[in-house]
Amino acid sequence: MCAMGREELATRLETIQQGKCFICEKPLHRDYEKWHVDHIIPRAKGGKDDENNYALTHEHCNLNKLDAGRCPRFRWRWAAA
């Protein structure tokens, strides 16, 4: 994780993403939903542990997503970030 703490990073991402999950774009309620901070570009593909490479997601969205390179529906979201 980057220099700031997980909660602080999640708060920043929540603001940037206007309270929506990066993957499904539905509202994300951190106070009562399970959530993840995820790498946009995976570390295995050269992604960095940097706040510009993190996204806030619903836990179930993150656990059920496909590799962005194989999933045309979400590929633009990773490319635009």
pLDDT value for 69:
46
| Neighbour count for residue 69 (Cβ, 10 Å) | 11
Q: Which residue has the higher pLDDT, 4 or 50?
A: 50
| First and final C-alpha spacing in the chain | 18
- Would residue 37 count as lying in a domain? yes
Residue 5 has pLDDT above 70, yes or no: yes
Distance between CA atoms of 50 and 1, rounded to whole angstroms?
7
pLDDT in tens, 37-79: 999 888 888 989 988 899 999 999 998 876 544 444 555 555 5
Q: What is the CATH number of the domain that holds 14?
A: 3.40.1800
Domain count, the chain: 1
**What is the domain range of residue 53?**
6-80
Residue 1 lies inside a defined structural domain of this protein: no
Determine, yes or no, domain membership for 26.
yes
Each residue of 7-48: pLDDT tens digit?
Answer: 999 999 999 999 999 999 999 999 999 999 999 888 888 989
Give dist(CA 74, CA 29) in Å, integer. 21
Q: Give residue 75's pLDDT.
A: 52
Q: Facing residues of 21 across strands?
A: none
Q: Is residue 35 part of a domain?
A: yes
